[in-house]
A and B are shown apart, each in its own frame.
Chain A
Amino acid sequence: MTVGSYPITMGEVYQVIVDHLFDLGSPLENIDQRVVWEQRMPRLLTAVVAGAGLAVSGASMQSMMKNPLADPYTTGISSGASFGAVIAITLGISIGSHSAATVIFAFVFSLVPAAVIVLLSRFKRATAAMMILAGISVMYIFNAMTQYMMLVSDAETTASAFEWTIGTLNKASWSSLPVMASVVAAGSVVLMILSRFLNAMNSGDNYAKTVGINVERMRVILLITISVVSASVVSFTGIIGFVGLVAPHVTRIFLGSDNRYLIPGSMLMGATMLVLCDILAKSFTTTALPIGIVTAFVGGPVFLFLIIRQKKEVW
């Protein structure tokens, strides 16, 4: 929390935090107080929660789909969220406030692809392939509509809509944190409880059924949980890429693929990655780069390096 355009020392940071936690009078100047407690603290906690939420979704999505390329956005969550946000931004919709409308629209629309898949599963078996393909078709539909909306609106609106799709922690505040944190926490508990079923599903649907798992229903439950968790993150931060894809893989290198360890491990890894990326984002520029750019730009090479380095065949 010492990194950023406004210089604050480690000691001052601790002082502000201690003061706040124990409700002591503060000897520090107001501006330090405000920077630490009103800006950097919620930003840091948002990074932790968002990182953990995206990583836990990614880990379970990969295990459920049995696909190393799956991430929290695989079934079209990101494109749904973008479309929702872009509608709210370009049409200037306001619920309470304008930013609240963006969040609510993003959240609602990010759940649409999952809803479509759940509906389809009534007619067709919810296999991993069916889910991915259905998710991708919904994604194309949403992307087309998003692009159309952006084409027909003016440059300024398009720019702010575009900015939303990159993913940023700049809007982090105390008010958004409780919602995000409680959804991520609740979802993670559910996913951890279901982790042993994921382990059996890893050996194939037929085997999983013969140890008593209703595989199709389990997939739908998992999909809904993952969608809600990632939607709660995405709707506040925009689409932060890469963490949800890579954090589980990095965790697998250290902990192996047992979902009982992988899922909580990925949460720690995702939180750490996002916090580190945010520090980088703040150190290189005075305006703080959108974190989505940093995660992808830094995460890519690091991950390539890990793929080459690691000897154990996790994939």
Chain B
Amino acid sequence: MEIRLEDLSFSYGSVPVFKDINLVIDKPELVCILGPNGAGKSTLMHCMNKLQAPTSGTVYLDGKDLKTYSLKDLAKLVSFVPHTEDTTFSMSVLDTVLTGRLPHAGTLTTQEDVLIAAENLKLLGMQKYAMQGFDELSAGQHQKVMIARSLTQEPKLMLLDEPTANLDVKYQMLVMRLLRDVARLKGITVVTICHDLNVTSMYADRVVMLYDHRIYADGTPAEVLTEDNIKILYGIECQIIDIQGRPHIALLDGDELDSHLEDNLTIRPTSGTDDA
């Protein structure tokens, strides 16, 4: 599965979110998108699965313009894990996960559908919650169910908007490790928005940094996660330590943080809200 963004721009009215982005992701690996709040990470992701239409530029999926895909055909190839889940009437965990079969299924749920759902719940360690109500779970468990559901869709490309946001350290690592293995072993391209630099560094095959309306840096964690880049992206001093062959980022508190933060206290265009 190859996804190619060509000269992609997006703006809300006259407020630009990003401009002329070119990006090719052409092999099954774990790609992490990093960037400060409001950099347009979610919007960029929404342009990759038709949730939002870019202002200009084109997205190609396997060489075909994304616009030519119907939502249903796209759903067979690309799955999405939203940032948050807002259910009103919640179903059981298993039934929630089974909605992931929708693009493939006929009218009735088959034994095979249930087996796929169950297998993915097991993968996330959620099998014992299968018959519980979705709303009875914690935020972290919600996230795991949503990932299981996304896998149940059996996509070629998985997009995730901050899948580790509500997870404790152990599950952040487990989920990122799982996503890496999904990419490696199942041949699925996984693109995820991240905030934690160290977890990203540990598991990402490729890191894309979004800053100043463009792709600021793109490469392996070692190439991209540098003291300079982090200073520019977030305005924070840090020290990079090499651990297990990957950069480990120790963030430093300091006076320059104050001044930098103050400089940056201008209001930026918000983007990437779920329903913008």
- A-to-B contact residues, CB < 8 Å: 62-63, 66-68, 193, 196-197, 199-200, 202-207, 209-214, 252, 256-258, 312-315
Main SS of the interface on chain A?
Answer: loop
Q: Can you name 13 extra interface pairs (CB under 8 A) apart from A196-B105, A213-B102?
A: A193-B107, A196-B99, A199-B99, A203-B82, A203-B86, A203-B96, A206-B46, A206-B51, A210-B74, A211-B99, A213-B71, A256-B133, A257-B89
- B76 CB-CB contact with A under 8 Å: yes
- Number of residues on chain B facing chain A (CB within 8 A): 37
- B92 CB-CB contact with A under 8 Å: yes
A36 to B: closest C-beta gap in Å:
40
Given A196-B102, A203-B99, A212-B71, residue A66 in contact with residue B89 (CB < 8 A): yes
- Whether B91 pairs with A212 at a CB distance below 8 angstroms is no
A202-B135 Cα distance, complex, nearest whole Å = 12
A-B contact count (CB 8 A): 96
- Whether A313 pairs with B135 at a CB distance below 8 angstroms is yes
A39-B136 Cα distance, complex, nearest whole Å = 49
Q: Which residues of the other chain, A, contact B103 by a CB distance below 8 angstroms?
A: 211-212
A246 to B: closest C-beta gap in Å:
15
A193-B90 Cα distance, complex, nearest whole Å = 20
- Whether B88 pairs with A207 at a CB distance below 8 angstroms is no
B250 to A: closest C-beta gap in Å:
36
A63-B70 Cα distance, complex, nearest whole Å = 25
Could you say which of A193, A197, A200, A252 contacts B89, with CB atoms under 8 Å apart? A252
Q: Which residue of A lies closest to B79 (CB)?
A: A210
Q: Which residues of the other chain, B, contact A211 by a CB distance below 8 angstroms?
A: 75, 79, 99-100, 102-103, 153
- Whether A207 pairs with B82 at a CB distance below 8 angstroms is yes
Q: Which residues of the other chain, A, contact B90 by a CB distance below 8 angstroms?
A: 202, 257, 314
Chain B CB within 10 Å, residue with most, of A63, A211, A213: A211
- Whether B99 pairs with A210 at a CB distance below 8 angstroms is no
A206-B146 Cα distance, complex, nearest whole Å = 13
- B266 CB-CB contact with A under 8 Å: no
A222 to B: closest C-beta gap in Å:
15
- B192 CB-CB contact with A under 8 Å: no
A34 to B: closest C-beta gap in Å:
45
A161-B213 Cα distance, complex, nearest whole Å = 63
Q: Which residue of A lies closest to B46 (CB)?
A: A206
- B72 CB-CB contact with A under 8 Å: yes
A211-B74 Cα distance, complex, nearest whole Å = 8
- Whether A258 pairs with B71 at a CB distance below 8 angstroms is no
